[in-house]
Amino acid sequence: MKVLVVGGGGREHAIIKKIKENSRVSEIFALPGNGGMAKDATLVDIGATDIEKIVDFAVKNNVDYAVVAPDDPLVLGCVDALEEKGIACFGPRKNAAVIEGSKVFSKQLMKKYGIPTAQYEVFSDADEALKYAESCPVPTVIKADGLALGKGVIIATTRKQAKDAVISIMRDKQFGKSGDKIVIEEFLTGPEVSVLSFTDGKTIVPMISSMDHKRAGDNDTGLNTGGMGTVAPNPYYTKEIADECMEKIFLPTVKAMKNEGRTFKGCLYFGLMLTENGPKVIEYNCRFGDPETQVVLPLLESDLLTVMMAVTDEKLSECEVKFSQKSACCVILASQGYPVKYEKGFEITIPEETEKSVFVAGAKLENGKLLTNGGRVLGVTQVRDTLKEAVEASYGEVEKIRFENAYYRHDIGKRALNCKEG
């Protein structure tokens, strides 16, 4: 079987390594992938949003199954285009990917179906948004409607900041057309939990829960990033909360999408906040999270490709999805200066015995050498019986990897460990 994976980050590397475990797989194409995946997949130099070329490549190379991992090709309709040519895919179609592609859509969906989320207002006129921002309670949260490379959410602690955010999104078009509309919503507090799930549009199977660490600096300081590390499971997410989420959030969302004629098939990601008034949805993503995937998939004991194909065939209810009872921790090694400004091109050395637990995000191969080529360079995941052991083991492996200007947080898992003890 020939499998194509669209995307090129650490998440895709984790997906590829897991798919490779299936003995039916003869070749995996990573499109575009990155130099750090060269041992696990054939790299194809086509951009992840170049849909025409992706489809053309898949047809010419007799691809049997395609996994579309990142948000932008999903929102652009990559799955629809591949399916039109008869290629089976994992990932939602365009009309379902809108659950991430438009915050206005997702908020209205939640309101219509009574799914718990923050109170909100939608604006398509900057003057009205500014007027609202003058008197709204603060802190408040301003969100660009469309995709914004994970940067479209601004938490304003003062009204001035709220107005500045409105101006930069709606007037200065910081995120282009993604800022034609905005959502201004209530600021919620509580522990955050990421829950990725498999769904075929009828059945939903949540994966093991996880916790992201979004800020650049230790103790959750500094700028927001794509994620500096993850642990799984998330100790705040108890069995009671999981049951409540299934009843009030997960199943209602799948049913709502079906009812809207937008059946969601693929990985549906729930970004949750456990508030005093119960779990609420902070965001939906139409895909696997990054770097959540790098801790969730190593704990998956079932065969990933089999589960994915069951989703495609709408037979998820007949498929066993089993997770290990162990814990996982992923520490991200970034380039010093990320997420603002950083140098690239430094040689990365990874001892051979560490390679299996490394998921490479920003690297390229040049003359046989692996060089840094992005902000987040790679993630190191370790699985152990306890979270404490997993955290220690991950940091142990991190020490063995070398590149100039490497930067990482030293407290991944600390909050989760404190929660367990407290």
- Decide: is 111 part of the binding site for ligand AMP (CB under 6 A): no
Q: Would you say 227 or 252 has its CB closer to ligand GLY?
A: 227
Within positions 349 to 388, which residues make up the interface with ligand AMP, using CB under 6 A? none
290 binds, among ligand GLY, ligand AMP, none (CB under 5 to 8 A by kind): ligand GLY
For ligand AMP (CB under 6 A), the number of binding residues is 14
- Decide: is 220 part of the binding site for ligand AMP (CB under 6 A): no
12 binds, among ligand GLY, ligand AMP, none (CB under 5 to 8 A by kind): none
- Decide: is 153 part of the binding site for ligand AMP (CB under 6 A): yes
Distances (CA, A) of 278 to 244, 273, 416: 9, 8, 19
Q: How far is the CB of 11 from ligand GLY (least distance, A)?
A: 7
289 binds, among ligand GLY, ligand AMP, none (CB under 5 to 8 A by kind): ligand GLY
Q: Smallest Cα–Cα separation from 27: which of 55, 64, 57, 79?
A: 64
Chain-centre distance of CA 339, in angstroms? 17
Q: How far is the CB of 283 from ligand GLY (least distance, A)?
A: 8
Within positions 270 to 309, which residues make up the interface with ligand AMP, using CB under 6 A? 271, 282-283
Q: How far is the CB of 162 from ligand AMP (least distance, A)?
A: 13
Among 27, 80, 83, 192, binds ligand AMP (CB under 6 A): 192
**Cross-strand pairs, 210:** 194
48 binds, among ligand GLY, ligand AMP, none (CB under 5 to 8 A by kind): none
309 binds, among ligand GLY, ligand AMP, none (CB under 5 to 8 A by kind): none
Q: Mind spelling out the 3-state secondary structure of the chain?
A: CEEEEEECCHHHHHHHHHHCCCCCCCEEEEEECCHHHCCCCEECCCCCCCHHHHHHHHHHCCCCEEEECCHHHHHHCHHHHHHHCCCEEECCCHHHHHHHHCHHHHHHHHHHHCCCECCEEEECCHHHHHHHHHHCCCCEEEEECCCCCCCCEEEECCHHHHHHHHHHHHHCCCCHHHHCCEEEEECCCCCEEEEEEEECCCCEEECCCEEECCEEEHHHEEEECCCCEEEECCCCCCHHHHHHHHHHHHHHHHHHHHHCCCCCCEEEEEEEEEECCEEEEEEEECCCCCCCHHHHHHHECCCHHHHHHHHHCCCHHHCCCCECCCEEEEEEEEECCCCCCCCCCCECECCHHHHCCEEECCEEEECCEEEECCCEEEEEEEEECCHHHHHHHHHHHHCCCECCCEECCCCCCHHHHHHHHC
Q: How far is the CB of 318 from ligand AMP (least distance, A)?
A: 33
- Decide: is 185 part of the binding site for ligand AMP (CB under 6 A): yes
| Cα(352)–Cα(315) distance, integer angstroms | 39
Asked whether 71 and 92 are in contact (CB, 8 A), the reply is no
- Decide: is 145 part of the binding site for ligand AMP (CB under 6 A): no
How are strands ordered across the β-sheet holding 204-206? 204-206, 192-199, 266-275, 278-285
Q: Would you say 188 or 332 has its CB closer to ligand AMP?
A: 188
118 binds, among ligand GLY, ligand AMP, none (CB under 5 to 8 A by kind): ligand AMP
Q: How far is the CB of 94 from ligand GLY (least distance, A)?
A: 19
Pick the stretch among 29-37, 150-158, 171-179, 321-329 that binds ligand AMP (CB under 6 A).
150-158
- Decide: is 232 part of the binding site for ligand AMP (CB under 6 A): no
153 binds, among ligand GLY, ligand AMP, none (CB under 5 to 8 A by kind): ligand AMP
227 binds, among ligand AMP, ligand GLY, none (CB under 5 to 8 A by kind): ligand GLY
Asked whether 339 and 217 are in contact (CB, 8 A), the reply is no
> Phi/psi of residue 311, each to 5°?
-65, -50
Q: Would you say 170 or 360 has its CB closer to ligand GLY?
A: 360
Q: How far is the CB of 122 from ligand AMP (least distance, A)?
A: 14
Which spans of this chain sit near ligand GLY (rule: CB under 6 A)? 150, 212, 227, 285, 289-290, 292
Q: How far is the CB of 10 from ligand GLY (least distance, A)?
A: 10
Q: Would you say 120 or 408 has its CB closer to ligand AMP?
A: 120
Within positions 117 to 136, which residues make up the interface with ligand AMP, using CB under 6 A? 118
- Decide: is 222 part of the binding site for ligand AMP (CB under 6 A): no
Instruction: Give the footprint of ligand AMP on this chain (CB under 6 A).
Output: 118, 141, 150, 153, 155, 185-188, 192, 214, 271, 282-283
